Structure 1
């Protein structure tokens, strides 16, 4: 039994050992497979090849967030094992500002008849270090968009590096890349001959492209100079801004125009798309007549464009979020929708506008895919599709602009033809009017002749009658002499009669027997009373009571006077016995007359009955008149025969009442203040 258990224990230990060995073997195989899968494929160069597109599986990438690693550091086992194949990672730089190490393994199979060159397509990489030898980092080529063009060994718009390949040997090349924006690792290997053919074809096409843009700029600028249509000038500005953006995008501007100014190159790269958005909206709205055809929507488009430009400038200068690319979609989309709406309304050039930007929209789609790291459609045709689309756009828009101007010209011609027809009708009417005027002139001449003959006859008749009248006038003069004497006598009698009548009226008024009805015939209304009082008050001259000035003008109240110097206004009743009178001024006149003529002995009851006023009011007013009469008798210039109207100008009582009132108010205020204390 013990032997059986011993054999069973040996058998169990042998199975455990075998299982452990199997697990170790499986782990080693999986790690070896993983290492093989993480290692990039070797890029093989053969004598019969002239160019190779470097696919992501041919290189491996190491991200260096700190940016401090050197060539020796990345060759250490720790960092060398961290390299990952390009097809296992995103095909673009996900973190702008970080350094990326790119490792490329190249094997030259057989003898090589030509030199091979490594080309990076993105000309906006800020910093590049190419290490032609993996063993020695001192021979590194250091260049980039942040450095002048002289830092490049080959003055080419893209980055070009020569590979020192040895026959039948496998070599490892390292590149250290850094960019401030998301970009891809697209690159290609070319031989000298293929590179020369490529240069010739590429620069020939680009030269034709910029030549077409230059021709369009000159042509439309000449049209603007000769025609004066502002749309042509806006189109020239738009084409120039587009040319600036293409020069910054393909690197030709940095290669030929500003090679020694990398900072300026970075500013143009960042600002040219923003400038293009402004000039495009500036031109498109004018071309589509948006302010006249869709004024409300045009205001929204203009506001969105300005806000987008401000956001793009903010993102470019301060934020650097990398999302500025998406801020272009909304304003461009609104402008395209604006063109579609206007085209629906029957504006034919808007259709050409939409057609011209259809290919541009497709090429922008390819650009968005490249920015997102999707290289499925990336090739020479799609890379340069925007240039071709823009050429088509320039040609179509030029034709559309010509069609628009032609349409305007046709409308102008039709308007001119309509105007010519109207002018012809006007000329016919004028001819008819001239003919009618000629007839009128003939009739007028005939009528004048007849009138002259009639006037001659009438003149002779009048002359005869004049002689008769002259003889009669002489007789009348004699009679007039006698009548003049009689008229003088009659005039003297009338004067005496009027004087006697006035004296009778005055005497009647000065008597005590005049009733209110008779009195009101002399002073019928308030206006007559105020006129009389004003003439009596200012009989001698006017003098301002504040500044003493003697010149005046009429005030707002009837018969008031305003000082022309201090603007003080004095009414006709001010500073008279009738100031602050509470009842009718006619009754006040009559009350003064009654009290004065009765020498102050007229009772308030009788005065209340005659004037139909309260007895208290009549008593107060009679007291005021009595006091005025007393003061008048004491005056030096008092005359016993003077009439009652002199009492009206008494103002002493009014001044005393105002002084007493002021003192009473001051005393009351002082007593209140004491009570409060």
Structure 2
């Protein structure tokens, strides 16, 4: 009995398995449900604002939801079952990949400020966000939308600012949840800020002020180089402005100012600016500028050849990236830097060989390499701040332009020194040449003066002797003609001598001088008469009738033109033949006959011989008679040529 009792005492009761399972399940549910409820309450990230802050950098204090199907609207997103799917952001990129899917972002802001005069703005930094839509909650549970992005016209923005800014209608002790729907084109880093109205204005003004300084300096450098190109016509000062314009375009597209002020209604320009086209322009401009810069110091065909090779390689790489096969950005950067390094190293070697050490040019080229690297800062995170990553390229471009400008100034100074040295040597050579020229001119002037005086004396003597010789020749010809005529008459009269003594006497009586035909052999034409008259008139020396100057030039018809007053004087002026109305050679013959006593032709005979009107012959003979009377001409003492220079008017 005791043993039996003892067995019953130690016997284990039989367990009910179903009841135990139900109890455990109930316990698990009791433990899990409160946790899930608490988790749902704690899942939403809240941004709290108080009186001590004026701006908040929202890095990881918002939630996101990936809409892979792009099928949800704001009404769907605000439903409870989708609200529970929002995740807390742990990285500024939100998430990687899924570039074709929109991302919903949720901001819950709790305003614990006591000041009612503060208004808050949400700023979404990052100009190159493809599309961003902000949803403002209304009192009735609906949402008001505001859409922007670099693919949409700028005028659609409610706040005209290069960044995406939204006014939060948030009063003290009020909590609101805002939503953003974002579509991106690459794994960009997001940066959101909450700022008061005062802080937003200060931040915007500072940002625009610094960018204004940046663009202002670039425009000043651009204007100066365009002026140099206008003045010097050197392509160096055209390539550099092209580089500056490309950098300005690159910067305007990078910070959004271009979209705000230059092409607000052309969003396609933003896409063009984000492509590799603007980088191509920067590199090509730099290569051309660099080559021209080196060529102004030293003419190097090798640098020129490698520059053209680099340009060709860069164009091939550009076409390949756009149309054929897109390389990884690291490989692309490495290849681009190698292409640039070849002409740069060749140019640097040429400068060093010519003993030209342009450190500003070298460092400017290194800045270009940094620009290429930092242009991909949206993919390469060199700094923890996305703003610094994005804007760090600006001071690099700024330094590049300044250093290139310094190198241009140094080159201008170098060329100016060369120009001054060349001018100095040229001046010395010119002074020597001038001195030699002056010495030679002095000697030549002295010789010319002596020679001229000698020639003038000889010319005067020759002119005088020539007149005398012509007069003597004329007399000899006259005598020769008379002898010839006498001989002819003797020959003829020898045959007629026996037949008629009276005829011989008559013929001999007619031999009183030269007939007209014989006289014409001495003075055959007008040219001969005018030449004889000119030499006879100015046989002593020429003096101008107007200014009495004694230097002349030979004019037409053997006249003379004064070298001082340009007055022209004909040989017939102030002579017996002035204003003569019939050929001067016939007048010469009439004058010749008037001085001979042994020749006495009637007017009819003279008219018939000369083929002139009787009145004409009488008038000129009368004129000769007046001249004889005026000068008291004696036919025995004076020759007939003396009457030629008598002026009756």
The TM-score, its normalising length taken from structure 1, stands at: 0.55
The superposition leaves residues 463-501 of structure 1 with CA deviations (integer Å, 9 ceiling, x where unpaired) of xxxxxxxxxxxxxxxxxxxxxxxxxxxxxxxxxxxxxxx
Aligned with 2:55 (options 46, 51, 54): 51
- Residue 92 of structure 1 contacts residue 185 of structure 1 at CA under 8 Å; is this kept in 2? no
For the 8 Å contact 2:383–2:389, the answer to whether it is kept is no
Is 2:178 aligned against 1:170?
no
Match of 1:355 in 2: 363
Q: Name 1:609's counterpart in structure 2.
A: none
Select 1:127's aligned residue among 131, 146, 158.
131
- Seen in structure 2, the aligned counterparts of structure 1 residues 204 and 392 have a Cα distance that, compared at 3 Å, is same
User: 3-state SS of the aligned residue for 1:167?
Assistant: coil
Deviations 1:293-324 (A, max 9, x none): 775576455444444444445545787x6956
Q: How many residues align?
A: 435
Q: What residue in structure 1 maps to residue 64 of structure 2?
A: 61
Where 1:82 maps in the other structure, the secondary structure is coil
Question: Which residue is equivalent to 2:278?
Answer: 272
1:225-244 CA distances to partner (integer Å, 9 max, x unpaired)?
Answer: 11222211111111111111
Which of 409, 417, 427 is the matching residue for 1:402?
409
Q: CA deviation at 1:115?
A: 1.3
| Aligned residues of 1:184 and 1:373 also touching (Cα < 8 A) | no
Distance 1:193 1:16, change over 3 A: same
Is residue 2:73 matched to residue 1:70?
Answer: yes
Mapping 1:524-535, distance limit 5 Å = none
Instruction: Measure how far apart 1:108 and its partner are.
Output: 0.8
SS at match of 1:161: strand
2:236 aligns with one of 210, 228, 231: 231
Counterpart of 1:388 in structure 2 is: 395
1:285 positional shift: 2.8
Q: Which has the higher helix share?
A: 1
- Structure 2 partner of 1:282: 288
CA distance in 1, matches of 2:46, 2:70: 27
CA spacing shift, 1:411–1:333, aligned 2, 3 Å: farther
Partner residue of 1:411?
418
Q: Would the aligned equivalents of 2:134 and 2:146 in 1 still touch at CA under 8 Å?
A: yes
Q: Which runs of 5+ in 2 are unaligned?
A: 1-5, 446-649
Verify the 8 A CA contact 1:90 1:373 in the aligned structure 2.
Answer: no
1:118 aligns with 2:122: yes
| 151 and 359 in structure 1: CA distance in 2 versus 1, 3 angstrom threshold | same
Tell me which of 67, 74, 83 is aligned to 1:80. Answer: 83
Is 1:327 paired with 2:335? no
**Counterpart mapping for 1:152-191 below 5 A:** 152-191=157-196
Q: In structure 2, what is the Cα distance between the partners aligned to 1:282 and 1:26?
A: 75
Match of 2:475 in 1: none
Q: Which of 384, 387, 391 is the equivalent residue of 1:376?
A: 384
Deviation at 1:101, TM superposition (A): 1.2
Aligned to 2:452: none
Gaps of 5+ in 1: 439-677
What's the secondary structure of 2:288's corresponding residue?
helix
Give the structure 2 partner of residue 211 of structure 1: 216
State the partner residue of 1:498. Answer: none
Matches within 5 A, 1:164-563: 164-270=169-275, 271-289=277-295, 299=305, 302-312=308-318, 315-316=321-322, 323=328, 327-332=332-337, 334-336=339-341, 338-339=343-344, 342-343=347-348, 346=352, 348=356, 350-356=358-364, 368-372=376-380, 376-379=384-387, 383-415=390-422
1: CA distance between counterparts of 2:77 and 2:327?
28
How far did residue 284 of structure 1 move?
Answer: 2.5
Structure 2-normalised TM-score? 0.57
Q: Is the 8 A contact 1:104 1:172 kept in 2?
A: yes
Contact 1:339 1:353 in 2 (8 A): no
SS of equivalent residue, structure 1 residue 123:
coil
* 3-state SS of paired residue (1:58): coil
Correspondent of 2:109 among 106, 109, 112: 106
For the 8 Å contact 2:378–2:389, the answer to whether it is kept is no
> After superposition, what is the alpha-carbon deviation per residue over 1:625-674, rounded to whole angstroms, capped at 9, x for unaligned?
xxxxxxxxxxxxxxxxxxxxxxxxxxxxxxxxxxxxxxxxxxxxxxxxxx
CA contact (8 A) 1:343 1:351 kept: no
CA contact (8 A) 2:66 2:101 kept: yes
Match of 1:153, SS? Answer: coil
Distance 2:319 2:197 in 1: 42
**What is the DSSP-based 3-state SS (H/G/I as helix, E as strand, rest coil) of the residue aligned with 1:147?**
coil
Relative to structure 1, the CA distance from residue 420 to residue 87 in structure 2 (aligned partners, 3 Å threshold; closer, same or farther) is same
Quick check: 1:301–1:334 contact (8 Å CA) kept in 2? Answer: no
Residue 151 (str. 1) matches residue 156 (str. 2): yes
Give me the whole-angstrom Cα distance separating, in 2, the residues matched to 1:325 and 1:255: 32
Q: What is the alpha-carbon distance in structure 2 between the residues aligned to residue 92 and residue 225 of structure 1?
A: 53
**Equivalent pair of 1:121/1:186 in contact (CA under 8 Å):** yes
Which 10-residue stretch deviates more, 364-373 or 275-284?
364-373
| Cα separation, partners in 2 of 1:77 and 1:350, compared to 1, 3 Å | farther
Deviations 1:86-116 (A, max 9, x none): 2157446634333111111211113342211
